């Protein structure tokens, strides 16, 4: 990447992300190569057909990344992840907690999480992404996020949609079970998760976990030292 393009976000937690919009605009939303399907009854378990994504700004607004950390942190660390991806579970267990403890708490960085359910190989990832967002309605997004990853080996191998498993994990983190079930067993957040995946494709992201720091993609998302060093550089510390 040239020095001109290696721009750092210094004043807004989301500014680093908006630098990526140049890539989206260059490709063009009309060129999205992501398969979307029509809505069906019951719990939405796969991407749906989206309307109103004819420009990058609309797509970004629909995607709604979930963040942790100060909004004015000098560095934005974007993570594209898939709940059924073993590597993503490792990142969630090994790397994210250390980043939160060292970089996020210190105010150096904010983590913004986006879903990239690779449904062709991970058929339950879309439902898992929706489940976490349903828990987010009750302020328990990150708690269920961690539970889903922690129990990945159990629900990931299910032949049918692991709705009961996600309800069990949600109850464990203390959500209202009736409200959670109502959300999970509908198509709520299907548009949001689909927009997440479409946005990832437009940015050329096709694998998980993918980590981007202020418009710079990390080669090895499991190299905490390299990530920490880049955050320090971008934060000017």
- Say if residue 163's pLDDT is above 50: yes
Indicate whether 157 belongs to any domain: yes
Of residues 32 and 226, the one with the higher pLDDT is 226
Predicted pLDDT of residue 136? 98
How far apart are alpha carbons 220 and 216 in whole angstroms? 12
Question: Measuring CA to CA, how many Å separate 233 from each of 11, 46, 74, 139, 218?
Answer: 15, 39, 11, 33, 14
Task: Please state the rounded mean pLDDT for residues 59-70.
Answer: 91
Q: Report if residue 21 sits inside a domain.
A: no
Give the CATH number, domain containing residue 98: 3.40.30.10
pLDDT confidence of residue 20:
53
**Would you say residue 187 has pLDDT above 70?**
yes
Residue 5 lies in a domain: no
Q: Which domain holds residue 116?
A: 32-235
131 domain residue, yes or no? yes
pLDDT attached to residue 14: 40
Average pLDDT over the chain, rounded to whole?
85
In a domain, 13, yes or no: no
What pLDDT, on the 0 to 100 scale, is given for residue 11?
30
113: DSSP letter: E
Has residue 39 got a pLDDT over 50? no
DSSP sequence for 188-232: TTHHHHHHHHHHHHHTT--SSSEEEETTEE-S-TT-HHHHHHHHH
Q: Does residue 105 belong to any structural domain of this protein?
A: yes
Query: CB of 46 within 8 A of CB of 187?
Result: no
Beta bridge partners of 48: 37
Domain count, the chain: 1
Long-range contacts, 192-195 (Cβ 8 Å, 24+): 192/62, 192/63, 192/64, 192/133, 193/47, 193/115, 193/117, 193/126, 193/129, 193/130, 193/133, 194/36, 194/47, 194/48, 194/50, 195/50, 195/53, 195/59, 195/62, 195/63, 195/64
What backbone phi and psi angles, to 5 degrees, belong to 85?
A: -85, 120
Q: How would residue 195 be classed by pLDDT, with cut points 50, 70 and 90?
A: very high
The Cβ-side half-sphere exposure at 10, using a 13 Å CA radius, reads 6
């Amino acid at each position: 990447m040239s020095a001109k393009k290696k721009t750092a976000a210094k004043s807004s937690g989301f500014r680093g992300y908006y630098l990526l919009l140049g890539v989206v605009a260059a490709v063009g939303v009309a060129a999205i190569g992501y398969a979307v399907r029509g809505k069906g009854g019951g719990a939405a378990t796969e991407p749906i057909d989206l309307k109103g994504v004819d420009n990058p700004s609309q797509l970004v607004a629909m995607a709604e990344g979930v963040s942790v950390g100060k909004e004015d942190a000098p560095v934005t660390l974007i993570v594209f992840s898939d709940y059924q991806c073993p590597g993503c579970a490792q990142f969630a267990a090994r790397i994210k907690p250390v980043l939160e403890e060292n970089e996020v708490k210190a105010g150096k960085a904010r983590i913004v999480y986006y879903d990239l359910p690779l449904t062709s190989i991970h058929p339950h990832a879309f439902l898992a992404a929706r489940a976490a967002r349903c828990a987010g309605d009750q302020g328990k997004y990150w708690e269920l996020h961690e539970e889903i990853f922690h129990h990945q080996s159990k629900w990931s191998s299910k032949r049918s949609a692991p709705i009961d498993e996600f309800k069990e994990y949600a109850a464990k983190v203390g959500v209202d079970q009736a409200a959670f079930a109502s959300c999970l067993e509908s198509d709520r957040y299907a548009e949001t998760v689909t927009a997440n995946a479409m946005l990832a494709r437009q940015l050329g992201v096709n694998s998980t976990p993918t980590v981007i720091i202020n418009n710079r993609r990390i080669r090895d998302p499991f190299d905490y030292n390299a990530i920490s060093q880049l955050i320090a550089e971008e934060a000017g510390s």
